[in-house]
Structure 1
Amino acid sequence: MSEETTPPRPSLATLLQSGPMPRSAVPAAEANAGTAEQEAPPRVAAQDEIQDSVGDDRRMEQDEDPPTHAGSVAPSFLRHAPTGSIAARRPPRWQWLLLAALTLLLAVQVVIADRATLAARAGWRPVVSGLCAVLRCTLPAWHQPEAYTMLQREVRPLAGRQGVLQVQASFRNDARWAQAWPALSLSLSDADGRVIGRRLLQPHDYLGAAHDPAQRLEPGQSAQVSFQLREPSAATVAYTFEFR
């Protein structure tokens, strides 16, 4: 069996004298390394292409958004809204004036339509009275019976007529506004305080035919009335007046 002998490797001096080593003599490992070095540039080129594409995407995003000044950050819907669109949405001033005029007209109509009820309230009476003075509308008379003050009263039997009483009274209107003539309630009592008779007299009952329903008693004005009344019982000793 023959043994293989490994030829001796030439020395470094021999290699330098003999010139460059033939390509076939280059070891396989070194050849593979050269191949790897030659294939590396395509990978670098691929990375450059990826970086270029990312840079293009960033430039496109920057082009989509308009540049803003430093310190002023606005929402996206305002950045894309046209200039002056917000001011254009505001209604013109004449529309506000028209709305205010219509609201005032409606309020006046409501007050005039319900003037009878409002005029019966002390707080609303001056307002309604002023409107009716301008618009020439009528108001019902002020009705405040407790504002009448009895100044003098007298009830006595009428001479020469059995069972008839002569009644005389004077009163004053202390209300803030003119009032119609009041209704008079006259109660008669006996010595024990029991009411034995009551009569409610309307203005035409104690004023007679001379009464004018439109006549008013102005604030502070006094009136005197006199009328006759049939006595319900001879035991009458006391009487009471009330305004209605």
Structure 2
Amino acid sequence: MCHELFSAPVSDTDPIPRPAYASAAAATGAGGGGIVRAGALVALVLLLVAQLAWLARDRLVVYPRFHALYGVVCHYLGCQVPAFRDLSAIDISAARVTSHPEYADALLAVVSLRNQAQAAQPWPRLALSLTAPDGSTVAGRLFEPAEFLPALNQGEEMFAADAAVHVRLPLADPGTEAASFRFTVH
């Protein structure tokens, strides 16, 4: 019985029957579906790229170009873009700690900060550590921007791109144990 079913003679002139679910237009290739399919494919690829960009937004938002793009998109979607922040782009230079010229038992810490990023970013917090010769910390403090910014920059929320600020911090002298210092930004 199976042999008869699978070994039925087929001639080259017999038409192959069309399944009931197939349309006549699909059988003849009519309808111009190639343009529609290509457009759908392009739309799906763009949707995939948009989804990947949205899922990776925390990593991409640190780049100024993408940060601006996310800002435009979030304007229309009603979302919040975190502020651009790249602490590695803040250069600390001309740092020194000396005896205060006007007060006894006080130090004066002076440092210059420059934002070398391509975009403005929130002011960093500035940490100063005074260390002993063996590297242990004798004294330290973390300064908020309102505590170290000069009067000219008070009230500014952002550290402009390629801008510099000169900071002067009067400090209580921790004594002779302090041999060196270190500034860091946070």
Q: If the length of structure 1 is used for normalisation, what is the TM-score? A: 0.52
Pick aligned residue for 2:17 from 69, 73, 77: 77
Following TM superposition, by how much is the alpha carbon of 1:109 offset from its aligned partner in structure 2, in angstroms? 7.2
Higher strand share: 2
| Equivalent pair of 2:61/2:70 in contact (CA under 8 Å) | no
1:158 is aligned, of 100, 111, 119, to 100
Q: Counterpart in 2 of 1:140? A: 82
What residue in structure 2 maps to residue 127 of structure 1? Answer: 66
How do 1:1-244 and structure 2 match up within 5 A? 68=13, 76-77=16-17, 84-86=25-27, 87=29, 93-94=35-36, 97=39, 100-101=42-43, 104=46, 108=50, 111=53, 115-120=57-62, 122=63, 125-133=64-72, 136=75, 139-207=81-149, 211-212=154-155, 214-218=157-161, 220-244=162-186
Measured after TM superposition, the shift of residue 112 of structure 1 is 5.9
Aligned equivalents of 1:82 and 1:158: distance in 2?
Answer: 92
Inter-partner Cα distance in structure 2 for 1:82 and 1:217: 65
Identity in percent: 25
CA contact (8 A) 2:130 2:178 kept: yes
In structure 1, C-alpha distance between the alignment counterparts of 2:132 and 2:12, rounded to whole Å: 105
Rg (Cα) greater in structure: 1
Cα drift, residue 119 of structure 1: 0.3
Contact conserved, 2:122 with 2:158, CA < 8 A, in 1?
A: yes
Contact 2:131 2:138 in 1 (8 A): yes
Distance 1:237 1:195 in 2: 10
Q: What is the DSSP-based 3-state SS (H/G/I as helix, E as strand, rest coil) of the residue aligned with 1:236?
A: coil
Aligned-partner Cα distance in 2 for 1:231–1:240:
15
Q: 2:12 & 2:82 partners in 1: Cα distance?
A: 74
- Displacement after TM superposition at 1:130 (Å): 2.9
